[in-house]
């Protein structure tokens, strides 16, 4: 079971990271501290999660030196205009209390229309709405990633982040980034689990030397049915581990970086454990993962579709 994956830029990323999406303020500082103290060296954050201040407090409280930790964050949909990209990254750095990121991802290949005072970073209250009250998209920047990607490349050149990547992109949209990139995306973070296995996207990314990273690997808040699936439980019992461990180990064996979220110290610790699945057990879970259409924890279709082809199965 790999402890690290090597990215196309030669850097080694720890294969399991702590997810922080939906980790509430008041919980996430302790979660990050517990994770780092129990051996995690990879924390996955995002400006859009609204909790990076506390994540930073947890990093500080852990006492683990910055250079030992892999930190990923993400550029939010409010901040794709080139003039905001560096400002947004610097805001994240300030909140996290660090002076560089290891990886900065474009959170979605979608940009919202914003109207913020000169020199200020756009917040939720600066979103421009359509007549019916829905958020207005910045269509040119949502259709063409080039200006945003070039601003992200400038952040690498300035040393604000060691690498850049993408998140929530299907094959076509990732291809568009590759076509114009001088600095290639090293990773694509998407939802991956037995209920959303995305085999076509995963193998395409791997062929193109882009690391697939899995959010909601346990099926999110509704994940009990995944952890308690009969096949998963049978394999877990054989190894005397939790169902969650089997779900994580299966993704690792597919060559995917895994980002389980938890704010519960015992689960955080347990999610770092892995088992080496036999070929037979691996295939049994592969089969399970084929047996239904993708079921997403995070489905933004109503916000972005039908104009945008975000999801692989709809592209």
| Binding footprint of ligand A2P on the chain (CB under 6 A) | 19, 216-221, 223, 227, 242, 244, 260-264, 267, 270-271
The minimum distance between CB 233 and ligand A2P, in angstroms, equals 12
Catalytic residue among 49, 84, 308, 311: 49
In angstroms, how far is CA 276 from the centroid of its own chain? 24
Residues in the chain, how many?
315
Is 100 annotated in the active site? no
Residue 114 neighbours by CB under 8 Å, 6+ apart: 78, 81, 122, 126, 127, 128, 138
Q: Which is nearer to ligand A2P, 37 or 136 (CB)?
A: 37
The minimum distance between CB 29 and ligand A2P, in angstroms, equals 14
By the 10 Å C-beta count (0-12 exposed, 13-18 middle, 19+ buried), 83 is classed as exposed
The minimum distance between CB 303 and ligand A2P, in angstroms, equals 19
How many other C-beta atoms can be found within 10 angstroms of the C-beta atom of residue 234?
13
Q: Which is nearer to ligand A2P, 71 or 192 (CB)?
A: 192
| DSSP string of 83-148, one letter each residue | HHHHHHHHHHHHHHT-S-BSEEEES-S--B-B---TTSPP-GGGB-B-TTSPBPB-HHHHH--HHH
Q: Which is nearer to ligand A2P, 13 or 244 (CB)?
A: 244
The minimum distance between CB 181 and ligand A2P, in angstroms, equals 29
Q: Which is nearer to ligand A2P, 148 or 216 (CB)?
A: 216
Give the active site residues: 49
């Amino acid at each position: 079971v790999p402890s690290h994956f090597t990215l196309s830029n030669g850097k080694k990323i720890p294969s399991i990271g702590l997810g922080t999406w939906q980790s509430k303020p008041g919980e996430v500082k302790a979660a990050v501290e517990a994770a780092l103290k129990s051996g995690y060296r990879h924390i996955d954050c995002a400006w859009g999660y609204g909790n990076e201040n506390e994540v930073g407090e947890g990093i500080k409280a852990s006492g683990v030196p910055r250079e030992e930790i892999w930190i990923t964050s993400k550029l939010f949909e409010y901040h794709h205009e080139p003039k905001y990209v560096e400002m947004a990254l610097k805001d994240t750095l300030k909140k996290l209390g660090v002076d560089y990121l290891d990886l900065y991802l474009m959170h979605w290949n979608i940009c919202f229309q914003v109207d913020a005072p000169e020199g200020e970073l756009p917040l939720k209250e600066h979103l421009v709405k359509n007549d019916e009250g829905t958020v207005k998209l910045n269509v040119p920047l949502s259709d063409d990633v080039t200006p945003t990607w070039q601003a992200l490349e400038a952040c690498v050149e300035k040393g604000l982040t060691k690498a850049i990547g993408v998140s929530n992109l299907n094959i076509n949209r990732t291809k568009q980034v590759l076509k114009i990139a001088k600095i290639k995306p090293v990773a694509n973070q998407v939802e991956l689990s037995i209920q959303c296995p995305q085999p076509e996207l995963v193998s395409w990314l791997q062929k193109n030397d882009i690391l697939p990273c899995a959010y909601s690997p346990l099926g999110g808040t509704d994940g009990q049915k995944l952890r308690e699936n009969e096949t998963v439980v049978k394999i877990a019992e054989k190894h005397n581990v939790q169902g969650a461990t089997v779900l994580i180990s299966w993704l690792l064996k597919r060559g995917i970086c895994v980002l389980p979220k938890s704010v519960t110290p015992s689960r955080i610790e347990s999610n770092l454990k892995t088992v080496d699945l036999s070929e037979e057990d691996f295939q049994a879970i592969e089969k399970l993962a084929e047996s239904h259409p993708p079921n997403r924890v995070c489905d933004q279709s109503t916000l972005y579709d039908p104009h945008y082809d975000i999801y692989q199965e709809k592209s």
